[in-house]
Amino acid sequence: MKIIYNQFHYICTMMTIAFQKYQGAGNDFIIIDNREDLFPKNAPQLIEKLCDRKFGIGADGLILLEKSTEFDFKMIYFNSDGNESTMCGNGGRCIVAFAHKVGLFDKETAFEAIDGKHFATIEGKDVKLQMIDIQNVQHHQDHYFVNSGSPHHIILTTHINLCNVVSEGRKIRNGAPYFEQGSNVNFVEKVTENHFKIRTYERGVEDETLACGTGATAVAVAMYDAKMTDNTSLIMETLGGKLAVSFQKENNQYTNVFLKGPATFVFNGEIKIR
């Protein structure tokens, strides 16, 4: 196998890639064990092709599991457009499940991601992942904004099933003040005091996904901050299933923020890419 790649392109002759496929509430990921540092990370065209649902494996994103000098492992996340991105909550839960499968820890783990250290536990079929502390919830006239490891624009609605998530989300994602950097866009409807429905347009995927972990986290904190609920343990219902978010508020800061839900192995295999 011969590989030549740089920041802009890659050329490879019959490259065989072993992979795992995982999903968390329908948010699906290609996971590659890269502890030997063989995967060409500066090949966005390759990553985009692997994530393509017609010509590749198909996924919302690709995750590399790598060695860490301080923790059990390191997570590197790429959106399906091939670009390395900010934190992915469901991806984080899925890579924890994979790391557990390959024997990197028993019940508890700590790993590093682009936004810092994360702690996680395996609880039956669920993975409970500690997210970063949230410093600020921005209240605007028609929306909220929260950075929960990734940026999230949040809109309240009373008819979430009628929302044109792709059309409206794309306008907001590319508009002011986000522009090229972009933001994920969430539409949320209150069901009960501790139950909210959420639909998310994800930048980098450039489409609605069945779930978004950092989005569920951001929405839960925003709803509490907006006094839409008094509960600090909430159910966030996505198109792909239910996620649980819990947190504490201390001195105008949200701490002990946890995202919990299923992280499921789907299949594994090998793919040959020219």
- Claim to verify: residue 56 and residue 155 sit in the same structural domain: no
Averaged pLDDT, 10-16: 61
- Claim to verify: residue 267 and residue 256 sit in the same structural domain: no
Averaged pLDDT, 211-234: 98
pTM for the structure as a whole = 0.93
- Claim to verify: residue 84 and residue 156 sit in the same structural domain: no
**Listed range (13-17, 107-111, 114-118) with the worst mean pLDDT:** 13-17
Is residue 91 pLDDT above 60, yes or no?
yes
Residue 248's pLDDT band (cuts 50, 70, 90): very high
Averaged pLDDT, 26-43: 95
Is residue 108 pLDDT above 50, yes or no?
yes
Strand partners, 250: 253
Averaged pLDDT, 116-126: 96
- Claim to verify: residue 180 and residue 63 sit in the same structural domain: no
**Residue 5: what pLDDT?**
41
- Claim to verify: residue 114 and residue 147 sit in the same structural domain: no
**Residue 242: what pLDDT?**
98
Number of domains observed in the structure of the chain: 2
- Claim to verify: residue 200 and residue 240 sit in the same structural domain: yes
- Claim to verify: residue 150 and residue 236 sit in the same structural domain: yes
Residue 13's pLDDT band (cuts 50, 70, 90): low
**Residue 15: what pLDDT?**
80
Is residue 205 pLDDT above 80, yes or no?
yes
Catalytic residues: 88, 212
Domain range for 145 is 137-261
- Claim to verify: residue 124 and residue 141 sit in the same structural domain: no
Averaged pLDDT, 232-258: 97
**Residue 180: what pLDDT?**
84
Residue 3's pLDDT band (cuts 50, 70, 90): very low
**Residue 6: what pLDDT?**
43
pLDDT tens digits, one per residue of 135-158: 999 999 999 999 999 999 999 999
**Residue 8: what pLDDT?**
38
Residue 259's pLDDT band (cuts 50, 70, 90): very high
- Claim to verify: residue 88 and residue 186 sit in the same structural domain: no
- Claim to verify: residue 244 and residue 269 sit in the same structural domain: no
Is residue 74 pLDDT above 50, yes or no?
yes
**Residue 163: what pLDDT?**
97
Q: What is the mean pLDDT of the chain?
A: 94
Q: What is the 3-state secondary structure (H, E, C) of the chain?
A: CCEEECCCCEEECCEEEEEEEEEECCEEEEEEECCCCCCCCCCHHHHHHHHCCCCCCCCCEEEEEECCCCCCEEEEEEECCCCECCCCHHHHHHHHHHHHHCCCCCCEEEEEECCEEEEEEEECCEEEEECCCECCEEECCCCEEEECCCEEEEEECCCHHHCCHHHHHHHHHHCCCCCCCCCEEEEEEEEECCEEEEEEEECCCCEEECCCHHHHHHHHHHHHHCCCCCCCEEEEEECCEEEEEEEEEECCEEEEEEEEEECEEEEEEEEEEC
- Claim to verify: residue 229 and residue 151 sit in the same structural domain: yes
Query: The CATH number of the domain where 47 resides is what?
Result: 3.10.310.10
Residue 238's pLDDT band (cuts 50, 70, 90): very high
Is residue 7 pLDDT above 80, yes or no?
no
- Claim to verify: residue 7 and residue 20 sit in the same structural domain: yes
